[in-house]
Amino acid sequence: MNPMNRSDFHAKVLSYLDKHPHEGFKSRQLKRRLNITTDYEFETLRDVLHKMVNKGELAWTKNRGYHRVKTASHGIVGTIAMYKQGFAVVTTEGGEEVYVDKESYSTALNGDTIEVALLAAKKKTKNIEQRIEGEVVNVLKRAQTEFVGTLQRSQNFYFVLPDDAKMPRDIYVAGEAIQDARSGDKVLVELLEWNDPARNPEGKVISVLGKAGDPFVELQSVIKAFRLPTSFPKNVEHEVAGIPNTLPQEEIKKRLDLRKKIIVTIDPHDAKDFDDALSIEKLDDSTYQLGVHIADVSAYVKEGTELDKEAYARGTSVYLANQVVPMLPEKLSNALCSLMPNVDRYAYSCMMTITATGKVKEHSFARSVINSKRRFTYEEVEKILDDKKGDFSAELTLLWTLASTLRKKRMKNGSVDFDSPEAKFRYDEKGKPVEILIKKRLKSHQLVEECMLLANQTVAQHISPVKKKNEIQPFVYRVHDVPDPDKLRSLSQFVQQLGHPLNITGSASSKELQKLLESVKGTKEENLINEVALRSMAKAIYSPDNIGHYGLAFDHYTHFTSPIRRYPDLLVHRLLDEYSRGISESRKEYYAKRLKEWCKHCSDRERVAAEAERESVKVMQVEYMKQHIGDEFEGIISGVMQFGIFIEINDLLVEGLLHVRDMDGDFYSYDEKQYALIGERKGQRYRLGDSIIVKVAKVDPERRKIDFVPAEIDISITEKKKSKRRRH
């Protein structure tokens, strides 16, 4: 047997264990039975066995050794999701949820496919009225085997402290498996083996990212932790290189020619991927023709190509704090597909005839060719709307008039407007943040938003008329379910503590939520209530089943307007085109079989992108606050816990912790009902939503955490006290 051929080892192990399905073997037993003679071959065998366990092909226990994975005859198969609070929820293949406490994880890790055995029937508990409890009995498949963390040294070995708070254990690393890493380095570690919950998982360092705490190293760790691709495969680059840089005349002739129309783009000042453009004409005193022109990515990304497979795998572009991980290669995203000014570009145009009251009387779709007459930034359009003069001011004013009407109509119908602020950074020449800016929501933002919402709604309504009996009409919808009643009740209790009523009776009324959000505008707790209200909502997802969009109060909604950065929009373009040309029954059946899987994948990729973006923002926020240790800031109490209070700094969106141990001069008790810490001697009350002035005491870039102390506290004294506590 060639010792270098790992596939031979893999095949021989499976063949032998299949002949002994009820037995288990230690690695040395398999060495003898497979006639392995050299040390090199034995090490190769061990490595293959470890990988087979990680992939779920084999199981390993201390007493039994390696053996074939048992079928889930007595347990239930599902995916485990771990929470920072110290519990996990297993979602089964049938959609049922099983609660697992930390002591029952066995060797499962977040996201693994596992087998769970039920421990109890549904029962009432303090926080959850009914739940099924279970314990992990078998890990069938690892969700991931590579983790990012900080390497630390003990006396005789090394271990990696994972960045991910959901990772339940540190990873043991033998001295010979650290490569060139040093204690304090941020590393990528591969999980080699973890079959005994009484011991820590074992791994080896596969790459060194740099010194932990450095902001650029921390951003690299975010990219690695979320497994974001940093380059495109060569076969994809080869395909893209073969795409012509000019538009063939024969293709232009097949399209609706809109190159003479006044069409403009409106985007952020630093944008390069312009995927939507607008046009408007006043047909008469009470009617407009609105054109929403979207980059025709489907003209370049053909179904089944290597480029298409890669775009699907990525699912979405990821906008990190200081860089973009694009869904498509730059030649497409920033050039051929981008609707740049004064060049011909393919588009998919949605033309809508709209009354002065915002009703769409007629609509049509066409693959078109356009030539944008002007590239505007949001700030430029805002100035034109304010001054009522400038390039294409007549068209922009018409667009704003129509958008205002559409917005009023949408709000009247119960649409909920979550205005969550967004942090942006200004960097110095070295790329480090020197200022945190809060993105302002301008009239120009609302103008574009309303036009895009209407186009997305119109596309979904076009595909989803009242269906005939048994008719298959597969499509990709953007859906948003009604909120969970328990979460709404918790939200109601929360905002009432801040002096804002929320009437929740029976069904969840979006108009009541809308009324709440309107009432808190301009208050110090506006951002806090917006954030908590948003967390109370169900997550919007992609689905082939149209249940409507609760937040927007739309019966039909999809995503059509951003195919450069979102794969579902590309799917919608393809489906819309096939329906327009007359879709075959075989294609309908094909889509009906595949769309559920595609929608779930795209929803999952969207969630990963959002989490990665949040972590990258935290990295830069912490780096910024490192420059302000000892400085005082005014903030609002955003959370109250038994161990302290969380504070969000005004105008920075930076959150940190004021620990109860640093609140000198009194003993504080936690009042859960009032969301408050109350001093027992002096009666000092720290309540959710209260304003407070604090001082930055400590910044921990590796854990991305910030510690505050009261403004009057001397930080040096506080640090001495902590040092004294550590010594004792």
CATH number at residue 713: 2.40.50.140
pLDDT in the model for residue 182: 94
Residue by residue, DSSP assigns 13-29 as HHHHHHHSTT--B-HHH
pLDDT in the model for residue 221: 96
Quick one: 498 and 645 in the same domain?
A: no
Q: Taking residues 122-140, what's their average pLDDT?
A: 68
Has residue 71 got a pLDDT over 80?
A: no
pLDDT in tens, 668-681: 999 887 888 999 88
66-75, 88-97, 325-334, 506-515: which range is least confident on average? 66-75
Quick one: 379 and 240 in the same domain?
A: yes
Tell me which DSSP letter residue 103 carries.
Answer: G
- For 132, the 3-state DSSP assignment is strand
52-61, 402-411, 647-656: which range is least confident on average? 52-61
Task: Give the distance from CA 167 to its chain's centroid.
Answer: 18
Residue 146 tokens read as: 């590579």
Site of tokens 């001093």 = 679
Residue by residue, DSSP assigns 372-409 as BSEEEEHHHHHHHHHHT-STTHHHHHHHHHHHHHHHHH
Quick one: 468 and 528 in the same domain?
A: yes
Quick one: 586 and 692 in the same domain?
A: no
Quick one: 105 and 180 in the same domain?
A: no
Has residue 167 got a pLDDT over 50?
A: yes
**End of a domain among 108, 124, 141?**
141
Task: Note whether 688 and 639 are within 8 A (CB).
Answer: yes
Quick one: 466 and 545 in the same domain?
A: yes
Residue 296 lies in a domain: yes
Residue 621 lies in a domain: no
Has residue 8 got a pLDDT over 90?
A: no
Residue 617 lies in a domain: no
Has residue 725 got a pLDDT over 60?
A: no
Q: Across the chain, what does the average pLDDT equal? A: 89
Has residue 126 got a pLDDT over 80?
A: no
Q: How far apart are CA 707 and CA 447, in angstroms?
A: 40
Q: How far apart are CA 452 and CA 177, in angstroms?
A: 53
Q: How far apart are CA 513 and CA 308, in angstroms?
A: 40
Counting beta carbons within 10 angstroms of the beta carbon of residue 718, is it exposed (0 to 12), middle (13 to 18) or buried (19 or more)?
buried
CATH number for the domain harbouring residue 56: 1.10.10.10
Has residue 724 got a pLDDT over 50?
A: no
Q: How far apart are CA 400 and CA 383, in angstroms?
A: 13
**End of a domain among 27, 52, 68?**
68
pLDDT in the model for residue 2: 45
Residue 208 lies in a domain: yes
Q: How far apart are CA 625 and CA 700, in angstroms?
A: 10
What Cα–Cα distance (Å) separates residue 132 from each residue in 99, 139, 232? 6, 19, 44
pLDDT in the model for residue 466: 46
**Bigger pLDDT: 275 vs 58:** 275
Query: Considering the entire predicted model, what is its pTM?
Result: 0.83
Quick one: 52 and 83 in the same domain?
A: no
3-state SS record for 545-558: CCCCECCCCECCCC
pLDDT in tens, 282-334: 999 889 999 999 999 999 999 999 999 999 999 999 999 999 999 999 999 99
Has residue 384 got a pLDDT over 60?
A: yes
Q: How far apart are CA 468 and CA 446, in angstroms?
A: 37
Has residue 597 got a pLDDT over 80?
A: yes
Could you give the angle at the alpha carbon of 401 between the alpha carbons of 395 and 403, nearest 5°? 100
Q: How far apart are CA 290 and CA 457, in angstroms?
A: 14
Residue 459 lies in a domain: yes
Q: Which residues contact 582 (CB under 8 A, 6 or more apart)?
A: none
Confidence of residue 13 (pLDDT cuts 50, 70, 90): confident
In 3D, which of 367, 96, 397, 423 has the Cα closest to residue 247?
A: 367
Quick one: 249 and 385 in the same domain?
A: yes
pLDDT in tens, 436-490: 999 888 999 999 999 999 999 999 999 976 455 557 689 999 999 988 887 888 8
Task: Note whether 206 and 188 are within 8 A (CB).
Answer: yes
Highest mean pLDDT among 14-23, 33-42, 67-76: 33-42
pLDDT in tens, 394-422: 999 999 999 999 999 999 998 988 777 88
Residue 425 lies in a domain: no
Quick one: 538 and 603 in the same domain?
A: yes
Structural domain range at position 476: 450-607
Q: How far apart are CA 476 and CA 306, in angstroms?
A: 22
Q: State in Å, rounded, how far the first CA of the chain is from the last one.
A: 61
Confidence of residue 435 (pLDDT cuts 50, 70, 90): very high
Task: Note whether 142 and 234 are within 8 A (CB).
Answer: no
Residue 463 lies in a domain: yes
Task: Note whether 541 and 603 are within 8 A (CB).
Answer: yes
Quick one: 240 and 360 in the same domain?
A: yes
Residue 60 tokens read as: 């390993």
Quick one: 564 and 597 in the same domain?
A: yes
Residue 349 tokens read as: 């145009």
Quick one: 403 and 339 in the same domain?
A: yes
In 3D, which of 170, 175, 176 has the Cα closest to residue 158?
A: 175
pLDDT in tens, 177-188: 998 999 999 999
pLDDT in the model for residue 505: 65
Q: How far apart are CA 605 and CA 594, in angstroms?
A: 17
Residue 612 lies in a domain: no
What Cα–Cα distance (Å) separates residue 539 from each residue in 259, 310, 532, 595? 39, 25, 13, 19
Residue 53 tokens read as: 């366990």
pLDDT in the model for residue 1: 39
Quote the number of domains for the chain: 6
pLDDT in the model for residue 17: 83
pLDDT in tens, 559-588: 999 999 999 999 999 999 999 999 999 999
pLDDT in the model for residue 22: 65
Task: Note whether 571 and 303 are within 8 A (CB).
Answer: no
**End of a domain among 123, 141, 159?**
141
Confidence of residue 503 (pLDDT cuts 50, 70, 90): confident
